[in-house]
């Protein structure tokens, strides 16, 4: 395979950072294709921890080209801060190894204010956004009033476009009793960044076409998870972009024929941050145990994640919607020592059995899981690097997951360290 797409198959936080880093060693080009700096990836390389939100995970590997595609909404201040932080850790980031799509849209200082105002006006019905302005930036994109990186080169029209943008958003700020923002103030804040970021701006779609002709291996890196997709997720408790694998094409300027193997990152249990339905959530001691062992706190927000049993229905749905060829199963070691482990195999809603999660918000809220329970294992799986290192019952658990979701395990992760990975099938060699 010349290209591999990595997506999360649940509600995000599945451990994509480690897997993408592991795969990036085999790739030449790494592309972020959607989301913003609300997504966090944690990498542990040679004992050093790197926390990334906007930068593609390949930046920590020498000799790789990193691309931020047009499907990403970029906070330029957050990007510069992240570049400086990674540079301070000894990683060189230059226009020679990082390019930003000229048609990618910017997150501006008014967007987080609009985000907070929107949540405040929703009251008890708030969605639980990260408050970083991602949603309002995507609204501007589809509303055709966004500021794009290519606009930074024309300062005369930039101010005019900013005037139209703030006029739209200030209406809601006034409604929420938030101080309005002026176009001039945003313009003045942007000016110092224009010189800094302009050398990184490029037609990413064209670069990708050149790399394909050269036979380069391309890794497409998604953010969040498929069940947070704005169309296919648990709407309205979703992110503001499409997170399915097909977005790799639209969010980078690659044709769908060039999207190859799709790898779905899948946690061995289920977590979710913020509001929204969660059929297998455990609000008991087991849920607390999973959270503590798995260090379930958001990389970006620090928010505590809700924890529950593995939901095979949800993952099977994700496999279907994204044509996932194989999964990378992560955090199996968190289940070590549990006497019994349950897997959700279906739902009952109003007395009717469902083998999928319906789109209706009302029905999702009433979904009760149907469980299949298996014996756990007492031995440790942490750090295992071959099937022979795994307890027999852990292997049975993995095999049952494969059966229920209709998709094979390609990689198995047994700790945050990149070396603690069992390779079943290399996606680039598939």
User: By the 8 A CB rule, do 135 and 87 touch?
Assistant: no
Give catalytic status of residue 168 as yes or no. Answer: no
Q: What DSSP state is assigned to residue 69? A: -
Could you tell me where the DSSP H helices lie in 176-273?
Answer: 183-197, 204-213, 247-250
Give catalytic status of residue 13 as yes or no. Answer: yes
Closest among 214, 197, 211, 198 to 253, alpha carbons compared: 211
C-alpha 367/C-alpha 348 separation (Å) is 6
Classified as helix, coil or strand, 280 is: coil
C-alpha 31/C-alpha 29 separation (Å) is 7
Distances (CA, A) of 429 to 23, 26, 32, 62, 261: 11, 10, 22, 22, 9
Exactly one of 21, 28, 37, 41 is catalytic; name it.
Answer: 41
DSSP codes joined into one string, 128-182: ---SSSHHHHHHHHHTT---BGGGGG-HHHHHHHHHHHHHHHHHHHHHTT-----
C-alpha 346/C-alpha 14 separation (Å) is 21
Distances (CA, A) of 186 to 109, 158, 162, 191, 389: 7, 10, 8, 9, 56
C-alpha 225/C-alpha 11 separation (Å) is 5
User: By the 8 A CB rule, do 396 and 268 touch?
Assistant: no
Tokens of 234: 């648990």
Exactly one of 13, 115, 151, 229 is catalytic; name it.
Answer: 13
Classified as helix, coil or strand, 92 is: coil
Within 8 A by CB and 6+ apart from 314, the residues are 10, 227, 270, 344, 357
Catalytic residues: 13, 41
């Amino acid at each position: 395979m010349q290209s591999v797409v990595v997506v999360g198959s649940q509600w995000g936080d599945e451990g994509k950072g480690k897997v993408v880093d592991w795969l990036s060693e085999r790739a030449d080009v790494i592309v972020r294709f959607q989301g913003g700096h609300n997504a966090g990836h944690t990498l542990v390389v040679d004992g050093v921890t790197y926390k990334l939100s906007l930068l593609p995970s390949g930046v920590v590997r020498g000799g790789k080209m990193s691309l931020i595609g047009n499907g990403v909404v970029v906070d330029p201040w957050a990007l510069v801060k992240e570049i400086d932080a990674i540079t301070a850790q000894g990683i060189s980031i230059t226009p020679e190894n990082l390019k930003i799509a000229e048609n990618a849209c910017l997150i501006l200082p008014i967007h987080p204010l609009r985000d907070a105002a929107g949540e405040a006006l929703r009251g008890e019905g708030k969605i639980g956004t990260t408050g970083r302005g991602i949603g309002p930036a995507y609204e501007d994109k589809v509303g055709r009033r966004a500021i794009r990186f290519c606009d930074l080169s024309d300062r005369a029209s930039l101010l005019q476009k900013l005037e139209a943008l703030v006029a739209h958003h200030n209406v809601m700020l006034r409604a929420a009793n938030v101080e309005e923002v002026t176009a001039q103030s945003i313009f003045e804040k942007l000016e110092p960044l224009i010189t800094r970021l302009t050398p990184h701006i490029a037609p990413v779609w064209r670069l990708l076409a050149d790399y394909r002709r050269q036979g380069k291996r391309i890794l497409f890196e998604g953010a969040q998870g498929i069940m947070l997709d704005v169309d296919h997720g648990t709407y309205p408790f979703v992110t503001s972009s499409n997170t399915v694998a097909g977005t790799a094409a639209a969010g980078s300027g690659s044709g769908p024929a060039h999207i190859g193997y799709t790898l779905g990152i899948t946690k061995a249990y289920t977590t979710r941050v913020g509001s929204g339905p969660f059929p297998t959530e455990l609000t008991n001691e087991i849920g607390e145990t999973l959270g503590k062992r798995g260090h379930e706190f958001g990389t970006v927000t620090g928010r505590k994640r809700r924890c529950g049993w593995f939901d095979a229905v949800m993952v099977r749905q994700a496999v279907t919607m994204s044509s996932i060829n194989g999964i990378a199963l992560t955090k199996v070691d968190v289940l070590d020592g549990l006497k019994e482990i349950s897997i959700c195999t279906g739902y009952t809603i109003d007395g009717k059995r469902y083998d999928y999660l319906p789109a209706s918000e009302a029905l999702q809220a009433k979904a009760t899981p149907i469980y299949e329970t298996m014996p756990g294992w007492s031995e440790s799986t942490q750090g295992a690097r071959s099937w022979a290192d795994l307890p027999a019952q852990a292997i049975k658990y993995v095999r049952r997951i494969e059966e229920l979701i209709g998709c094979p395990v390609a990689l198995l992760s047994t700790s945050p360290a990149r070396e603690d990975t069992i390779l079943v099938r290399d996606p680039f060699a598939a």
